Structure 1
Amino acid sequence: MAKKKRVPIPDDIAAEILFISDRTCCVCNIRGKQVQIHHVDEDPSNNTLGNLSVLCFECHDQTMIKGGFGRKLEANQIFKYRNDWHERVRNRKAKADEIASIQTVTGSTETVIVNVINEEDYLNYKTYDDPNLLKDYLDKILIVHNAQLTIARTKWDTGVTMTMNQGNYDMVDFYEEVLIELSTFYPKGHFNNLTPKKYFSELISSRFLWNRLVLEPHGVGTGGTIVSTMTGGSVMNDLKHMIVDMVNSLLFPYEIDEQIDLDKWRDEWLT
C-alpha cells in the first residue's frame, strides 16, 4: 500500500483542536506535558477536526506497533477518550464561567460576556467601561474565592494524588475565568488581538509546561506522580499573582484606587 502523503495541518484547525482540548492529552489528562496533534485514522492528509486528537508523547507511543506486538491504543479507543475529554473540558469551563463571571458575581445584566470559541466570535465580544461595576466585582469575587478555596481544600486534604490534582485544576479554571472577566475592562483586541479565552488558555498551558520542566531537573518524567500536583500548585500561584497585577493596573485609570484598599484586597486574595 502506498504511503499517504502528509499534509500540514492548517493553523486555524491546529489552534482549534488545541483550544478545545485545553492543550492537554485526551488520554492521561495530565496538564503540563508536551503534546502533539495525532491523526486518529493514521491518514496524515486527513486534517478534519473530527480526525484529530491531542496526545502527550507517552500516550502517542502507545498508538504505534512495536516489535511485532499490537498497539495499546486503537483508533476507537482514542475517539472515546477524546470525546469524553472534550466534554469534560467544556463542562469545566462552563462551571468556572458560571461561578466567576461578572454577571454571576455582581448580578449585573448590563451586558453578558460571550463564550467565544473562535476569532469570528470576537466581533460580538463585549467589553465594560464602568468603574462601579469593576469595584463591585472586586469586592464580591473575594467572597467567591474563599468559597472555592474551601471546596478545593477538601480535595487537597485527601492526600490522593488524582483528587489533589483535581482541586488544583478547579482553582486554575476559576483563576482563568477571573482573568478573562478582568480582561473585559481592557480594550477589545488588547491581548495580542486574541479573544481572552484563547489568550489565557495558551498562556496557562505554557505555565503548566514551564513549571513541570522546572520541577524535573533530571529529565522529563523523572519526578514521579507528585510532580503533577506540585505543577498545578505552582500554576495556581502564578495566576493568583497575575490577577493582582491586573487589578493593580485597572484601579488607577478607573479612578477607584481611593475606594479600594489595594493592600487589604491583595492580602485577602493571596491568603
Structure 2
Amino acid sequence: MSRKKVKQTTQTEILYKSRRRCPICYGLNGDTDIKKGQIAHLDQDSSNNDFDNLAFLCFDHHDEFDGKTSQSKSLQKDEVKKYRDDLYQIFEELGTENLPDLEVFEENTNNVERDKLEFDVYQEKIKIYREIRKFLGLIIRDADIEIKDMIEFANKTDEAVFLFDKDISKLIAEIYHQASQLRYTNKRLNSRYLDVGRERTRIAEENMELLNWFSKTTKELKSHFYPYLSL
C-alpha cells in the first residue's frame, strides 16, 4: 500500500487529544510524561488514515509496535487502541492537572462500580422492608390475612437470606408462622361448630394475643431494619 500523508488537521487533533502522551507508556507503566514520538497506524496500513486507526506513540513504542518485535512483545492493535481510548477519556474528564497514574484511575473506577453494587443491594433491602411493612399493614387492617397474600409475602421476601443477617430471616419466618396461626384461629372462631365455652374463649384469647403481637412487631419494625438501612 502506498503511504498517504495524514492531514495536518488530523495530526493536530491526535496530538491535542493525547497531549503528546504515549498510550502504551501509560497503559503498561502508568507513565504520563510528555514524550517525543510520532503518529502510528494501528492496523499498520499506512494508507488507512481514519482517525480511529491513528495514535501518537513515543519513538520506542512506535518502533516496537511497527517492527517485527511487536509479535514477540504481544503489542496488538486492539490493545493499543484500548490504551489510547483510556488516555483520551482521562484527558477529557480530568485535563492535564493532577493526572492520576493507572493504579489510581483503576481504583477510582472500581470504587464507582462498588458504589453502584452497594446501591443496588440497598434497593433490594428496601424492597424487602416495604414488603414486610405492607404485609403487616394488611393484617392490622383486616385482623386476618388471605392465603394469596401469604404466598406473595413468602415469594417477595425469599431473598432476604442473601441480604441480611439471620435476625431478619428469623423475623420473616416468625411473621409468616404467626400469620398462619392467625388464619387458623379466625377460621376456628368463624366455625359454626365451635360452641360458646372454654375452647372458644381460649381461641379468642390466642387470637387477641396474635393481633397484639402483630401490632407490637409493626411498631418495632424500623428498629429491626435500622442497622441495615440507615445511611
Higher relative CO (Cα under 8 Å, sequence separation at least 6) belongs to 1
What TM-score do you get using the length of structure 2 for normalisation? 0.37
Q: Quick check: which one's helix share is greater?
A: 2
What TM-score do you get using the length of structure 1 for normalisation? 0.32
